[in-house]
Each structure stands twice: as C-alpha cells, then as structure tokens.
Structure 1
Amino acid sequence: MTDVLVTGGSGYIGSYCVLALLNAGYAVRTTVRDLAREPQVRAMLKADSGAQLTFVRADLQNDEGWAEAVAGCDHVLHVASPTLTQVPRDDDEMVRPAIDGTLRVLRAAREAGVRRVVMTSAIGAIAYGHPPRDTPFTEQDWTNVDADIAPYQKSKTLAERAAWDFVNGEGRGLELATVNPTAVLGPVLGPDYSPSLNSIASMLDGSAPALLKFATGYVDVRDVASLHLLAMTEPAAAGERFIATAGHSLWQRDIAAILRARLGERAAKVPTREMPLVVARGLAKVNPQMGALRLLLGRNLDATSAKAERLLGWKARPIEDTIVETAESLLALRES
C-alpha cells in the first residue's frame, strides 16, 4: 500500500519531500519521466531498494501513467513543474504546460479517490506585478498576470489559479492546499539543485562581479518539505495557501555579509560592492541571466509566514544557518 505520491521526486524540493515522508514512516511513490533515472535518484536520496519507495514513469505533458501513479494513494504532493531548456519564445510555451500538467494530476487524483493534494506553488504566484509597498505579502495577494512579469511567475500564478478553480468546481470532494515558497536554499544532494542556489554559488566562486540590489525572502528546503507534510495532514490546511519563508527578506548584500562573517577565507571571492541600479538594468536588457532578475532590481519582496505558523505550528529555522549550510555543501560539491 502506497500512502503518498510525490510528483517530481528527483527535483530539489521533491527529493526533500520524499526524504521527509520516508523519515515519517510513509510508503512513497514518486514520478520520473524516465525510469532509467531510478538508480541515480535512489543514490541521491541514499534510499536502497528495500526502502518504502517506488518509482513510476509519468510526464506532466502526457496522460499516460497518471492513473497508475495515483492508484491507492491517500495523498499527493504535486511538486513537479514543467521545465524548459531555453528561454520561451512566448509566455504560452511555459504557461500552457504548467496549467495542463496541474490539471492532469488533479483529474487523476480525483478519479483515484485521493483525499488531499498539496501543490507546490511559489511566491511568484503572490508577489509580482504590484507597485512597491512597505508591508509584507500574504496569502491574500495574487500576482497580477496583466502586469509586466516573467513567464515563470505567470505560469505559477495561472497554474495555481487553475488548480483552485478545478477543485472548487469539479473536485467532487478532493481537498487542495498550496505551499508558496520564497527563494529556496539548503544543502545540495547532488549537482542538480534549485536555481535559487545559483546566487550563492556565483558569490562563492567569484563569477558574480558585484552584488545586485534586490531583496526577497528565503527559506530552507527542509522546512519547505516539513510544511508540505503539515499541509497534507492537518485538517486546518484544507483549502488554504501557505507562504514558506524564514523571517524577513534579505538583500544580496546581507547574504554576502553572512557568508564573509561565517566562512572566513572560504568566502574570499564573495563580492563586497553593490552594482549601481542603472548599470544592472542596462545589463538586464542584454544578458539573459540578468534578464530573469530585471523585475526584481531595486525591489523588496518581503513576505510573511505568519499564517503557516498560526494554523499549522510550522516554524522555519534561522535563515543565516541555512545560508551557511548551503554554501558549505556547494563548496564540498565543488571539491568532490
């Protein structure tokens, strides 16, 4: 008997959700697009073939395999998200697969009699397309998809809205909760890790010539996983969104200062100066990597996890410790 399906168990958040479930005693099934990856994922998770973990082939862009994936499961953690290998030519290239994949999982879950789906959304579905503000974003906020926002944030917003519309209109009793993490950090399990960690990696290896001026929330991947489990099991979580963030937002200069103070010589390449906004905005027009951050420059996207703390008793660990553990794991990976 499989208790929980985790979609995308090979991904950064998905792998930590699988580990948290296994550690809590659940039998877990996870989806991969290619079953040939099973040995690699098991090695990453340090889960032998005797662990309460099974793999099934399913792709968010195809109906095949989803009925088998959800069969017999009480709960689904829908963590997987369609990925593109290049910048999309238009928004629909990212938006349409995100919506279709989400609805594919929800329909299969409903037909299989799943009790509750916990969907991994993002702060990108909450905090973008708004005028500057002094108060933290909450779960009451939604990203304005009619504003100038990136395709990723648009896809996360419209996929989450589609999920709520489906459950409220066609769910037939299926429960839904969403977890909306800010930028996710934490120890890496292997070379494939969250894009959020790239900013730490580029500071450590000196490839970032200067610090960019923007602030956002950060959260430990292990705390994101624990919030998924609470959202899965707590009665109060049904029908709710939960922001996952640790304390208040941090500017890049704050992160750099933490790295230098805690890592000493190992942080020797971490930049000390902040790039002027006018220069950063100019580079963002011609540099694809910088372009992804264009709408963040000069902004402070603070958010609060007060709701998760109040309703579910969730508590994030100090983000300073997470930043240091992230850096240490990246340095160890580089040296291995």
Structure 2
Amino acid sequence: MPSDSQVVVTGATGLVAKYTIAEFLRRGHNVRGTLRNMGKADGVRAAVTRLGADASKLSFAVADLTSDAGWDDAIAGADAVVHTASPFPISQPDDPDDVILPALDGTLRVLRSATKAAVTRVVLTSSTVAIFYPSGVSAGHIYSEQDYSDETRPDLTPYVKSKTIAEKAAWDFVESTPGAPELVAINPSFVQGPAVDADLSTSHELYRIMAKGTYPAAPSISFPVTDVRDVAAAHAEAAVRPGVGGSRYLVGEGRLSLYELGRIMARELPDIASKVPKFELPDFAVRIAAIFDRKLRTVLPELGEKKDYTNAKVKAELGLTLRNADDAVVAAVRSLRDLRLI
C-alpha cells in the first residue's frame, strides 16, 4: 500500500488498537478508528500522541460489534482494515454467548462491509488461544500456525471459544464469498508492554489485582508473552506486505508463569512485594476456588499445560525481532507505576 493509504482500525479504544493506530500513523497512513461512541475519541487521540504519532491524520466513525449500523460508512474508502475489536472479559460470563456472539457477529459484519467496499486486505486480531487447544495432539507437540483449537471441547472458557469461532468463521467467509478481501490473522499470546493510559487492558488489569494483595497464591500456569509494540508492528506489516494474504502469524516470545509475573513486580516495585503471590496453588485447589471466583475460571484451561511453540514464521515472513518476555513485563509494570495505577 502507498504510505498515505486509508486504514480502518476497529475497536480503537483497546490497547492493541491504540498501538496499531500509532504504528500506521508513524508510517504516514491515514487512519479511521471505530468507536462505540464518539465520546472516547479524544482519549484515543491523546494516547496515540503520547506514543509519538501525529493524530492529525486520525479520524473516527461510530460502529458497534452488535449492530449492522455504521459499518459500511466506517469502512468505505479503506485500502485495508485491521479488526482488533473483540470482547475480553477478566471474569467469565454466565452466558457464553455474551462473549461469543459479539466476537463472531462483529467479525462477519466487518468482513461483509469490507467486501462491499472492495477492501484489499483485512487483518484480524485473533489469539494464540485459537491455536493452543486442539483435540488429540500428542505429548511434546510443538504448536504453530497449523494448529486450530477445538471449540467443541467442554473445558474451554467462553473467551477461548469466541476467538476460535470468530477466526474460523473469518476464514470460511473469505473462502466462500466472491470478491472478499484477503485475510491475515495475527495470533498474539499474553499481551504485555507499556500501558498508555488508565483505560487498561485485561492483561494489565491483572497487575492491579496482584498489587492489591487479592491473591496471596497464584495458579500454577504459564503462557507465552508478547509485547504490545511487537503486536502492533505485526498488524502493520500484515496489512502492507505483499504475498502474506491467507496467512496466520503466532506472535509470542518466551514463557512466564503467573507466579513469575508477581516476582517481577516485587523486584521492580519493592514497596508492593508483600502483596504479590507468595506461592503456587495446586491445580485441585484452583478448580475448587473457581467455583466461587469467576476470575479464576479464565485460567482453568491452562492448568497442567506447558505448551511448546514456534514463532519462526512471524520472524521470517513479517521481518520482526520480538522483545523478550521479561522486558515486556517490566515495561508493563513500570508503565502502571508511572501512570500511578499501582
């Protein structure tokens, strides 16, 4: 795409979206962000300005994942669309459709409007949770972009199902719809890196919970980590690089446990060291506690899982050098202290 092309980024208030908008603006593109209400526009402008981007080429349109209204106008004239908007609750809902339907229906609304507008390429923000939960894999399996989670598994949370169902539906749409845009899926792992304002992501909200001393012990789970700055760069490269249409990209570097996240917080912010988790809970205790604590239900699919994965494809095809997990977490913790949120 020419540097002054029009890019639409959905869900503009999200952490990944703000960094992605700033990335495109720094590259000279015009960006239109979608919002559920225009009252959030000034906050997004301020955030991308703090990230070193010129917000004069940023505009906004109102569109909601749960309604057809506004999407055709929001996407009209776009050369590329980056669809980041998707619900990510810190507590799992009683009704899975509260998460699944907005993710699925919103993705299809974006793709239908992008097809009408003759958009060349749509970049979908998926997740490694759409990769890491297939059925029937053997011990020692190395996960990659070839893997798809099995959304029919009864042990998966609504969030995991929502990301898997939405991504699969997106691939089905572009394969079956004449004139559909090219699709690229970005599958980030646990997103860390610096917070940009007080409108925190679910990932960053975890540190505020830890800093309050809410959980003296942590579930024994670990996961790949990625820095939001690398996630934004992956989205931008996926939108503009020739030859990558039809691809998925797993974005992650290293692995950390919840307990290790707490140790990093204690190391970087000694004044709250007494509040972070002191030990790891056995899995059976986590399952019992999750009956009463909805936040813990989010981690249940990770119990007993230590997944090996490869990030070779995103490095080779999108040309990225990923920040390591420890640095990404340190940046997150330090940013929250700088913002006086912990």
Whether TM exceeds 0.5 here: the answer is: yes
What is aligned with 1:7? 10
Distance 1:308 1:181 in 2: 11
Q: Which runs of 5+ in 1 are unaligned?
A: none
2:115 aligned with 1:110: yes
Which of 64, 69, 74 is equivalent to 2:74? 69
Contact 2:90 2:202 in 1 (8 A): no
Cα distance in 1 for partners of 2:318, 2:139 equals: 27
Residue from 322, 328, 332 that aligns with 1:326: 332
Paired residues of 2:92 and 2:295 also in contact (CA < 8 A): no
Name the counterpart of 1:243.
250
Distance 1:77 1:195 in 2: 20
User: Are 2:129 and 2:163, in contact at CA under 8 Å, matched by a contact in 1?
Assistant: yes
Structure 2: distance between partners of 1:70 and 1:123: 27
1:137 aligned onto 2:140: no
Q: In the alignment, residue 212 of structure 1 is paired with which amino acid? A: P
Pairwise CA distance, 1:171: 4.4
Matched, 1:219 2:226: yes
State the shift of 1:252 in Å: 2.3
- Counterpart in 1 of 2:217? 210
Residues 77-86 or 324-333, more deviating: 77-86
What's the CA shift for 1:260?
3.6
Q: CA–CA distance in 1 between the matches of 2:224 and 2:313?
A: 15
**Distance between the aligned counterparts of 2:5 and 2:73, measured in 1?**
11
From 38, 63, 67, the counterpart of 2:41? 38
CA deviations on 1:160-217 (whole Å, 9 max, x unpaired) are 1110011011042510000011111111112222212233333333222112200111
Secondary structure (helix, strand or coil) at the match of 1:77 reads strand
Which runs of 5 or more structure 2 residues have no equivalent in the other structure? none
Q: How far apart, CA to CA, are the structure 2 residues paired with 1:171 and 1:301? A: 38
2:200 maps to 193
Displacement of 1:282 in angstroms is 1.3
Tell me the secondary structure at the aligned position of residue 219 of structure 1: strand
Contact 1:17 1:226 survives alignment (8 Å): yes
Contact 1:117-1:232 within 8 A present in 2 as well: yes
After superposition, the C-alpha distances for 1:87-115 in whole angstroms (9 at most, x for unaligned) are: 53433332222221111101111111111
Within a 5 Å distance, the mapping from 1:172-321 to structure 2 comes to 172=179, 174-247=181-254, 249-265=255-271, 267-321=273-327
Counterpart CA distance in 2 for 1:65 and 1:2 is: 21
Q: 1:86 to 1:307 in 2, by over 3 A?
A: closer
1:203-250 residue CA offsets vs partner (Å, 9 max, x unmatched) = 333222112200111101111000001111112321000011013x22
In 1, the alpha carbon distance for the partners of 2:94 and 2:327 equals 39
Instruction: Return the alpha-carbon distance in structure 1 between the equivalents of residues 206 and 330 of structure 2.
Output: 13
Structure 2 Cα separation of the partners of residues 256 and 85 of structure 1: 18
**AA at the equivalent of 1:178:** A
Query: Normalising to structure 2: TM-score of the pair?
Result: 0.90
Aligned equivalents of 2:308 and 2:265: distance in 1?
21
Give the superposition deviation at 1:291: 1.6
Q: TM-score, normalised by structure 1?
A: 0.92
* CA gap 1:50/1:335 in 2 versus in 1, 3 angstroms: closer
Residue of structure 1 in register with 2:173 after alignment: 166
Q: In 2, Cα distance between the equivalents of 1:66 and 1:38? A: 17
RMSD: 2.3
Distance 1:31 1:169 in 2: 26
**1:270-296, Cα deviation, whole Å (9 max, x unpaired):** 333212222222111221111221222
What is the identity, as a one-letter code, of the residue corresponding to 2:104?
I
How many residues matched? 335
Q: Deviations over 1:309-334 (max 9, x none)?
A: 12221121122111111111112223
